[in-house]
């Protein structure tokens, strides 16, 4: 009977050690990459935001009387459509990259 208890204890220790090795250690290694990814996304998002605000301000001030009166909404629409097109291009590039990985 003591042999059975030792075997069960060894099996439990082996399973726990294996689980730690195969799950926790790789996750610890991912921390650095996740941190860089989140930091890059934050910086890129901030940059795109400021570029969009700059484009909006340029459309409002540098186009003379084109976007005044009833057309004062147009610069906002132009910037929103531009951002949507940019997002679509980035999405398409990601989908193309994924398709190339799958076919390789």
Comparing CA positions, the residue from 34, 74, 36, 69 lying closest to residue 55 is 74
The confidence score (pLDDT) of residue 104 equals 65
> How many structural domains are present in the chain?
1
Q: What mean pLDDT is reported for the chain? A: 90
pLDDT of residue 32: 84
Rounded to two decimals, the pTM is 0.69
pLDDT above 90 for 25? no
| Residues 50-54, mean pLDDT to the nearest whole number | 98
pLDDT at 1: 60
Burial code of 11-48, b = ≥16 C-beta within 10 A, e = fewer? eeeeeeeeeeeeeeeeeeeeeeeeeeeeeeeeeeeeee
Q: For residue 33, what are the domain limits?
A: 2-103
Question: What whole-number percentage of the chain has pLDDT above 70?
Answer: 97
């Amino acid at each position: 009977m003591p042999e059975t208890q030792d075997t069960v204890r060894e099996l439990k220790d082996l399973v726990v050690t294996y689980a730690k090795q195969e799950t926790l250690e790789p996750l610890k290694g991912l921390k650095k990459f996740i941190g860089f990814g989140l930091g890059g996304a934050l910086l890129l998002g901030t940059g795109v935001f400021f570029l969009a605000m700059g484009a909006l301000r340029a459309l409002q001030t540098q186009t003379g009387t084109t976007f005044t009166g009833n057309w004062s909404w147009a610069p906002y629409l132009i910037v929103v459509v531009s951002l949507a097109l940019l997002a679509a291009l980035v999405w398409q590039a990601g989908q193309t990259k994924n398709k190339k990985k799958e076919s390789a």
